[in-house]
Amino acid sequence: MSQPVNAVQDPNLNSLAAPAGRNREWVKLLRRFARNKLAVIGAIIIGVLALTAIFAPVIATHDPIFDQDYTAVLQSPGNGHFLGTDDLGRDTFSRLVYGARLSIQAAVISVGIAVLIGVPIGLITGYFRGFWDEWVVMRIVDAMQAFPSLILALAMAAALGGGFYNAMIAIGIGFLPSFIRITRAQVLTVRNQEYVHAAKAIGASDWRIMFQHVLPNSMGPILVQITLAMAAAIIAEAGLSYLGLGARPEQPSWGSMLNIAQGYLNINPMLAFWPGIAIFLVVLGFNLLGDGIREVLDPKLKR
């Protein structure tokens, strides 16, 4: 008679069961995401943006800065210029394509600064609480949130000086309060869960509990906030560049393109239309993607 297999004593079965369970969970999440058609559209828009930024030298038909044709200034679409030319005879389509690179950099750098600084602060203060949380960190956050993030970024950019990367630092600092608050709020909820108390009972250190249990189970709202902040970062970068505090005028930024186009609205209104529609579509894509991620990760919305 054959002996029954004891799964508890077979480490191979246990080691294979966990990855298989995680894979099934990821498949469920992807299926839920795919059922949200608007979220899929948002993901496609962001994917197109990323591919455009990566392959800009291949897609662009002209050099966006140095290829200037003064015999074809403010030209309408045609004659070798797919979307026409600007006030210096530069190809609008090529500048629009390279502008996707600056938009991606704006989103990644500024939001990266906010996440790398804001999430650890929110995690530590929310987990340990106490004087520093209530009377120092949160009061500074309240003071920063008294100003709209764009106004705060504008003031920081003016203090740091012009330039694209200074503008990204300013925008990242402007996003800090939202990431500190949302991380802290999630940590305050998760730290009281039974599995956290169980980890404390078996002697796990506070830092291990924070990074292995509390932070992973707080990531849902943070991921949603990241996508929304990326959309806001692109708008902020365009606004700062429009005001002359972001990208330099010769750089192919969508904001600087709008700044140039405002003086020629009566002559060639399409010069402002193309960067404007690009900003609109990208921001729409990030917002649709964020809504889809929220629906997938929020247990209250599971169907």
Nearest-angstrom CA–CA distance, 189 and 213: 12
pLDDT of residue 2: 45
pLDDT of residue 289: 92
pLDDT for the residue 22: 59
Which residue type, as a one-letter code, is found at position 218?
Answer: S
pTM: 0.84
- With 50 as the cut, is the pLDDT of residue 72 above it? yes
What is the predicted pLDDT for the residue at 19? 54
Distance CA 137, CA 44 (A): 39
Band (pLDDT 50/70/90 cuts) for residue 79 is confident
Most confident of 72-76, 258-262, 274-278: 274-278
The pLDDT of residue 162 is above 60: yes
What are the phi and psi torsion angles at 3 (to 5°)? -85, 140
Q: Is pLDDT above 80 for 68?
A: yes
Cα atoms found within 13 Å of the Cα of residue 125, Cβ hemisphere only: 24
User: What's the whole-number mean pLDDT along residues 257-265?
Assistant: 87
Show me where the domains of the chain are located.
48-67+78-301
For 2-11, write each residue's pLDDT tens digit: 444 444 444 4
pLDDT per residue as tens digits for the range 201-227: 888 888 998 988 899 888 888 999 999
Confidence tier at 300 by pLDDT (50, 70, 90):
low
Task: Kindly state the helix (H) or strand (E) to which residue 118 belongs, with its residue range.
Answer: helix 92-128
Predicted confidence at residue 9, as pLDDT, reads: 46
Both structure tokens of 31: 């299926």
pLDDT of residue 51: 94
Round the average pLDDT of the chain to a whole number and report it. 84
Place of tokens 């919305």: 301
Contact 116, 174 (CB under 8 A): no
Name the phi and psi angles at 81, rounded to 5: -120, 105
Distance CA 270, CA 78 (A): 13
pLDDT greater than 80 at residue 161:
no
- Rounded Cα–Cα distance for residues 118 and 37 (Å): 32
Write out pLDDT tens, residues 19-63. Answer: 555 567 777 778 888 888 988 999 999 999 999 999 999 999 888
- We find that the CATH architecture of domain 48-67+78-301 is Orthogonal Bundle (1.10)
